[in-house]
Each structure stands twice: as structure tokens, then as C-alpha cells.
Structure 1
């Protein structure tokens, strides 16, 4: 049954990709294949990074309504962008080398996440909850600092900064895809080899330890992988808060299993179908009169509230 569902989702994704590449196609195919193919590859890459990172974070935290954004990654990304615009100016910010800026952003977010994990993890059985709380506090701090700096920068620079404050699925620098593919692929290979261990970790800390899993070391490794995936995704297209929650919730609902060998590919396929289909609709039908990220975040936020109130009512 699970295999049939995965096959159906794979077919739907293939149809969505064909529609994205062919609908409204005019002019030279040699140009269209490269232009649209680059955007399609970026959408698929972001789908993998966000869905896998969210699923793993929920497994480690033991909570299906949490996402990696709660650790303050989005706020840190926005603070980095704000500091760059504040110190360099809007025009210099726009002229920065894309690859250097991308690697710097990934490096800063990964360094901050690793510093947080190494400082908090291993301090006791409540270390994960403490880490989430510290992440929330730092997220508020980063947002406050960003808000303060945004109020004192030049209005023209603020307009440039606003463009980096929201996820942009339609404008991805193709020069960044090579590095992103290497990082995401490396993380996914390690994660796939840990899929059975993740099933055990999902049973809880004590059960995982009793079943022979080195919980502290594995949790740290998974959190570093999550930080890497989120850093790459955020630096590539911008902050996305609730999309991962929407995707993983649909994967759990459709597949109705706790096995990561099923949930991982299901989450990736669902994320890719949503992004590719949504981007096709907004670009070809609505003529980019709205933003896909805003729509996705809206429905993801509604789902978050629904799950939150549902949990309180039980």
C-alpha cells in the first residue's frame, strides 16, 4: 500500500514537472530547458531540504508541531541580511558575490547551530527542551535586533532588504545550485543510512537508549544535519517557517506510518508536488500576481494553529 502511494505521488510529481516545463512555452527550447530547468531544480532541492529537515527535527524533539525555524534560523538569517545592508549599504549588498555570500550565510547559521548544540546537549535528559527554549529566546533577540536596525537604515536600503525577507522560489542564483546540491546530497545520504535508527529514536530517549542507540551522539549528528539543510534552504531562497510543518503533517496523514523509510520519500514528494504545482500556477496562470511563499506559509500557519488547539483540546 505504501509503495503504491509513493508511486502515485511520483507520477503526480512527474506530471507537475512536465507542466512546469511546457505550459506557456514559447521561443527556443534550448533556452527554455536551461531557464526553466534551473528553476525546477531549485524547487526540487528546496523541497528535499525543508521536508527532510522538518521531519528529522520533529523526530528528535518528539513533537509534530515543531519546525527548525523555532530554533531561530530564520531570525538569524534576517539579522545577517540586515547587518549586511546596514554596514555595506543597499547597492553594495546587491553587488556582493552570490557564491561568497551564500557560503558565508550557510557558515554563520551552521556555526551558530553547532555552538548551541554543543553548549546545551548532554546537560541532562531535558537538554533538548532546554535547547528549544534557548533557540526561541535567541530568535526573539535576533528579530528585535533586526527590527531596530531596519528602523534606522535608509528607506531605499530597507526596500532592498525587504526583498530578502521573504522566500523567493522564482529567482534562484543558478551558480549556487552546485554547492547546494553537494551539501544536500551529502546530508541525505547520511540521513538515509540512519533511517532505521531514527525509527528507534522516535520511540523516545529512554527506549532508544535501552535498545542500544547512542542517543546523545546520534541526536547531535541529526541536529547538525538539520542545521545544514535549513541553512542551505534559507540561504538559497529565504526563510520558510511553516512549509515543512504542512508537508510532514500531510505525509503522516497519507502514509499513516512511523517508518522513516516511508516518511522521508513521502515528505519529499509532497513538498515537491506543492512547490512545483504552486509555482506553475502562479507563474503561468496568475502571471506572478501573487507570491507562492506567502500562500504556502498562510496555509502552514493555519495548520500549526489547528494542531496546537487540537492538542490542547485532547
Structure 2
């Protein structure tokens, strides 16, 4: 229902008959057909992929760090992607606008996220303590954020506006030519996550217990970091930074399923993340008006109260 509503609602509300006619190949309003095929459906699919990717990444991070407030951005991967885009858009005014705002942003975000990922992987080999790794990830994020702030203060207004627009997040910037790349990368990350679900269930009982059963904690941590970076890095590269989904969806899924079993939580959190992202996208479109809201703002309005509830619940 959320998928159908996301296709129907927007600045132009499209009749259900037009959607059915377009999907079945019948002749109809050409304008509606263009909106449905080249805007609404790609945007809805992007919402589903992004919601699923960030939610699964959030589950793995919370399991790895045994922290209910851990999310896919705690390793600094999102900040690395932001730094990559900042280096492209804020320091290369001579490049063509089409490159800076299209595949160029995606490529820059991937490079930035990958660079941070490699640093985290090196650190994970040298540092056995998971908490120390969490702190290092946060420091990488703060360092990248500081560089971005410096660049913002000295950049020209046009490039600054382009970068700020990217930080708002957008589900409508992914066309069909980019969709297959995003889907392929996210499916790879999800496949890795599902392969790790048995080991993650054991890891819930503690690092020492997992090691006692023959699980290589270092190898598991490496694979979780790799899968998380693939999921969060890809999502950020194509849609910009989207907050709170990765932190809040695991708690909603656990509350609904009343279990922490990853065999159950992974499918549940994928469904929850995809549905909530579709609902947030509908709200951001302000149906019936010509205006739109940044998707990052809508997810924050949804996620912030959930985080407060989690903290109060855990304190009690």
C-alpha cells in the first residue's frame, strides 16, 4: 500500500487507472506515463532499497557494538562520503556542472566512503577492542566533518548551494541508468548480512561465548564492517546522508517481532525500513502542493522521538 501511495501522491496526484494502464502497456495520458515511469517508480524503488540497506546496517552495528544507539554512520562511512562530495563540489568549480551534480557526486561519495572503510579495516586488525574501534570511527567522522566545515567556509556560493542540497538527501536523483548499480551493490551487502546471521545470533551472547564456540571474532567484525560500509556507503552515495533510519528501524522490528533473532529481524527490518522510507517520501512530497521537504528532515522528525523513547526505556 505504501508503494502504491508513493506512486499516486505528489505535486500531481495520478489516478489509479492511469497507473494500471501504464504498467499494463495500454495507451493513456503521456504526461502521467512519463511521471510514473521516469520519476515516481524509480523514486519509490530507491526508497525501498535505501530503507532496507540502512536498516540492516543498523541491526549489524547494534549487534557488533552491543549498543542500542549505534547506527550505520558510527564508523564514519557517511562522513567519508560527505567529505568526498565536498572535495568534488566545493573545490572544483572549473568542472562541468553536469559532472559535479551527476555521476561525479556518486563516484566522489563512493571514494570517500571507501577511504574511511579502508582506514577502519586497518584499525580493526590492529585494535581488538570493539569499543575502541567505535571511538576511532567517531573520530574519523569528526575529522571529516571538520574538513567539510572548513571547505564550506571558503567555497563560492554556487558550489556551496549544490553541496548543501546534497546533504538534504534526495530519493529522486536516481534514474534508471543508476538504479542497477545501486541495486546490485545493496543486494551484495544484504547477501553478506544474511550469510552472517547465525554468527551474529551467537555474538549476541557475548564475544567470549562466540569465541568459545569457534567463531573468529576478528573475522566476523571485519565482515560486518565490510557489509555495513557497502550498504551505508552505497545508500549515501546515491541519495545523500539520510539520518535516523538505521538507528530506529531495528528497535521497531524487535518490538514488533519480540525477538532479537537475526533470522527473523533481518526480513522484518527490511520491511519496516522500506515502508517507513516510502511513508517519509510521501510526506516530503507534500501531496497536493508544489513544494517539497528535504527527506533528511522528515526522517529526523520521525526518528528523533524514537531515539528519546529508547533512551528513556533503557534508563528505566
Aligned equivalents of 1:286 and 1:58: distance in 2?
Answer: 39
User: Which residue of 104, 107, 121 maps to 2:111?
Assistant: 107
**CA distances 1:115-159 after superposition (whole Å, capped 9, x unpaired):** 2222233533x2x11111111112111111111111111122211
1:99 positional shift: 3.5
2:165 — aligned with what? 163
Q: Contact 1:56–1:222 (CA<8 Å) still a contact in 2?
A: yes
Gaps of 5+ in 2: 16-28
Does the aligned pair in 2 maintain the 1:47–1:268 contact within 8 Å? yes
Measured after TM superposition, the shift of residue 170 of structure 1 is 3.1
Task: Find 1:117's aligned residue among 121, 142, 146.
Answer: 121
Contact (CA 8 Å) 1:120, 1:130: kept in 2 or not? no
**Does the CA-based 8 Å contact 1:74-1:241 persist in structure 2?**
no
Within a 5 Å distance, the mapping from 1:128-147 to structure 2 comes to 128-147=130-149
- Mapped to 2, the partners of 1:247 and 1:21 lie a distance apart of 23
1:35-54 alignment runs, 5 A limit: 35=38, 36-54=40-58
**Residue 21 (structure 1) aligns with:** 7
Correspondence for 1:299 among 299, 302, 305: 302
CA contact (8 A) 1:121 1:131 kept: no
Structure 1 Cα separation of the partners of residues 288 and 268 of structure 2: 28
**Which residue in the other structure is 1:8 paired with?**
none
TM-score where L is the length of structure 2: 0.86
Check the 8 A contact 2:86/2:148 in 1, yes or no. yes
- The answer to whether structure 1 residue 264 and structure 2 residue 266 are counterparts is yes
* Aligned position for 1:79: 83
Please state how far the C-alpha of 1:58 moved relative to its aligned partner.
0.9
- After TM superposition, the score normalised by the length of structure 1 is 0.86
Aligned CA-pair RMSD: 2.2
2:252 corresponding residue in structure 1: 250
Contact preservation (8 Å) 2:81, 2:108: no
Q: Distance in 2 between matches of 1:121 and 1:47?
A: 30
- How far apart are 1:188 and its partner, in Å? 1.5
Which has the larger displacement, 227-236 or 276-285? 276-285
The structure-2 alpha-carbon separation of the partners of 1:90 and 1:247, relative to structure 1 and needing over 3 Å to count, comes to farther
Deviation above 4 Å: which 4+ runs of structure 1? none
How far is 1:105 from its partner? 2.3
Counterpart of 1:290 in structure 2 is 293
Contact 1:98 1:176 in 2 (8 A): no
* Unaligned 5+ runs, structure 1: 1-14
Q: C-alpha separation between the residues in 2 aligned to 1:286 and 1:33?
A: 16
> In structure 2, how many angstroms separate the alpha carbons of the residues matched to 1:291 and 1:97?
17
